[in-house]
Amino acid sequence: MQTELFDKEKISETQQEIAETQIIEKQKISDYDTREYPVEVLVNKFTEGLEEDEAEIYIPDYQREMVWHDNQKSRFIESILLNLPIPYLFFADDKDGRSEVVDGSQRLRTLVEYCQGGFALKSLKLLNELNDFCFSDLPRSRQRRFNKKTIRIIELTRDMDEEARRQMFDRINSGGTNLKPMEQRIGSKEGSFSRFIQNLAVNKDFRRLCPLSDAKLKRREDQELILRFFAYSDRYEEFDHRVDDFLNQYLDDMNETGFDEKEYEDRFLSMLRFIDAYYPLGFRKSQNDKSVPRIRFEAISVGSCLALQSNPVLKAEPVEQWISSKEFIYLTRSHGSNSRVKVINRIQFVRDMLLGKDVKYASSVENTFSGQLAFD
């Protein structure tokens, strides 16, 4: 079967030459060396000088936290013991001659943790007799053999600049489901606004009013929520239906064009003070909740922010009158939660309730709303 060619203008020789020049130029920044390090050498290079931030191998800030659970870590150690192929680690040679981990931080951290006695093997299938073994429980001869196992490394040369490294991180991790969207953004979208969000995420009042589980914090859910707060408070009426595209575009724009840091910080902190003053449970639905859903956070934070922008000295009526209402529950339930209409309506519902105004729903909702509430 012959594929039909689509109609297009012929590429000129000049265009071909320009394209070839670009390929050659971009290849220069992707230069790399291939190495093999014994496990013991990798562990030493990562741990020696770690406290002084002088370790020869280090994990940069944009990499995710340790998120593998013990079963995943045990399976990785089992693979090494079985001499199974291990994916390459990707490093980058920095200006000080140190090696920055571009990809493979979970594997490297697991090696270090196991060799230092940080966990015992569990749930192994092929080597089940090793379950409950820490590294020190292995016979000394097996410890030596483990330490001599080599791990293959691809190290990008120092000719590859910071942007190229982040592009590499993005490409390595965009093909699967290993990273959550915010983890990937932090890895690939460096800029002043990205750093600003990371700094706000450790705010004590934010952590108190918006508790998140340890698992979610490791996945940078706190930073995801803050990005959503700013993106929606600036552009919620422009939102279509693809959340990741919307947030990525907003973050790119803010990193590129710049922003008034004091103005944005004041907006965030004013919103938190208002939540603290008028929402007895903060962003939580009940006293015992350990985490706050994104939809609830978006509605309350952005709606409150818009109300404050309308009336900076707002003295709100008790939110208990409407925060548990069928209307709010409907607008913040997960089904269809990221449709344009739902996003606009849940934000404006909170804004208008705080301002004591009649709620104006987006088209198509007002006519069907009473029927939809029957789900309760």
Mean pLDDT confidence for 91-107: 87
Tens-place pLDDT, residues 207-264: 999 999 888 888 889 999 999 999 999 999 998 878 888 888 898 899 889 899 999 9
Mean pLDDT confidence for 344-368: 79
Mean pLDDT confidence for 264-270: 97
Report which of residues 301 and 103 the model is more confident about: 301
Residue 173 has a pLDDT of 57
Residue 336 has a pLDDT of 54
Split at pLDDT 50, 70, 90, the class of 50 is: confident
Mean pLDDT confidence for 101-130: 92
Tens-place pLDDT, residues 130-187: 999 999 999 999 999 999 999 999 888 766 656 666 666 666 655 444 555 555 555 5
CA distance 205 to 271: 11
For tokens 């003053």, what's the residue?
Answer: 277
Residue 74 has a pLDDT of 94
Share of the chain above pLDDT 90, in %: 46
Which H or E run contains 150?
strand 150-156
Bridge partners (DSSP) of residue 35 are 153
Contact in structure between 218 and 152 (CB atoms under 8 Å): no
Report which of residues 10 and 306 the model is more confident about: 306
In terms of DSSP bridges, do strands 89-93 and 57-58 run parallel, antiparallel, or are they unpaired? Answer: unpaired
Mean pLDDT confidence for 192-207: 93
The CA–CA distances, whole Å, from 27 to 89, 139, 162, 363, 374 equal 20, 47, 15, 52, 61
Split at pLDDT 50, 70, 90, the class of 30 is: low
**Please, which residues have CB within 8 angstroms of residue 86's CB and are 6 or more apart in sequence?**
79, 80, 107, 151, 152
Residue 176 has a pLDDT of 42
**What is the pTM for the complete model shown?**
0.56
Contact in structure between 47 and 172 (CB atoms under 8 Å): no
Mean pLDDT confidence for 267-293: 93
pLDDT above 70 (res 62)? no
